[in-house]
Amino acid sequence: MTNHWDAIRRHWQLLGPPLCPPPEAVTTYERELGLQSLDVVLLGVTPELAGLGRTMLAVDESPTMISGIWPGDTATRKAVAGNWLDMPVAGASMDAVIGDGCLSALGLSVARRALFAEIARVLGPHGRAGLRLYASPETPDDPQAVRTLALSGGVATFHALKWLVAMTATGGAPDHAIPVQAILERFDELFPDRDELCARTGWDLPVIGTIDVYRNSPAIYSFAPVATLVHEAEAFFGDVRIVATGTYGLAERCPLLVLRSPRQR
Ligand SMILES: C[S@@+](CC[C@H](N)C(=O)[O-])C[C@H]1O[C@@H](n2cnc3c(N)ncnc32)[C@H](O)[C@@H]1O
């Protein structure tokens, strides 16, 4: 799947909230998890989160994402290539794990559960984790209502629209998955005239064009509802909470899943 993320890296500067965490979301990680004096694992190389923690080990499967967007190793932080489901980290050795949109990068419920199990494994007994979600509503939006909302200027950013479109077309339980190619197809059906979308919203065509990276990509994302993700996490953590991450566009669907009391297996 690293080719998918390599392609996304090439237009990284055109991305924005809610795909990247805005400052108020970064503050939420810090406030809810008290990261300042902790040894932290970052899932991925999200640059906005690279300054958190006393020390940070970032784990990402894509060497080009590491070389392309990680702000660089220092005396207290470094990035390594690795799989989140089998982290190069000893059991019960870390204080905290954080990640941004990671659960949506996994297309299967069984993979999300494997990630929860792996996070619980690497955390010490007082450890905690925070994962910002991209969560579908319990009742799916009507696709035509999403189109009308976007064309009337009611969607904050193109990237928020991309997620709204995806959430109209995700499959059912247990995975709530969608191949990214299907996000592009649904978008093209709903918005066949990109010039019109551009004119009605003020979004630049190159920003709208970032969705074309999904063409021919084998990647599968998931957008499970909050209740599903909480239920999956509760098998691995004794204390599972949901915290709002701010007021940016689509923030209501991007809360922080806060996990404490890892169950040791
Ligand atoms: C943190 S996620 C989401 C980033 C961003 N918030 C978004 O929504 O586009 C993106 C990163 O996850 C990495 N990634 C995806 N699945 C992975 C896995 N199983 N193990 C390690 N890294 C993975 C990709 O290489 C990519 O750099």
Note the pLDDT tens digit of each residue in 89-113: 999 999 999 999 999 999 999 999 9
CATH 3.40.50.150 positions along the chain are: 2-135+224-262
Mutation test residue for ligand 1: of 49, 60, 118, the one with most atoms within 8 Å of CB: 60
CB distance 248 to 18 below 8 Å: yes
Q: Where is pLDDT greater, at 11 or 79?
A: 79
Distance 2 CA to ligand 1 centre (A): 9
Give the model confidence (pLDDT) of 206-230 as tens digits: 999 999 999 999 999 999 999 999 9
Share of the chain above pLDDT 70, in %: 99
* Choices 3.40.50.720, 1.20.59.10, 3.40.50.11540, 3.40.50.150: CATH for 2-135+224-262: 3.40.50.150
Does the C-beta of 42 come closer than 6 Å to ligand 1?
no
Which pLDDT value is given to residue 265?
A: 64
Amino acid letter, residue 212: D
Does the C-beta of 21 come closer than 6 Å to ligand 1?
no
Residue with the smallest CA separation from ligand 1 atom 15 is 105
DSSP alpha helix (H) spans, 88-208 = 109-122, 143-151, 158-167, 180-190, 194-201, 205-208
Mean per-residue pLDDT, 123-142:
97
Mean predicted lDDT score pLDDT of the chain: 96
Residue with the smallest CA separation from ligand 1 atom 9 is 19
Q: Which of 255, 177, 151, 211 is nearest to 15 (CA)?
A: 211
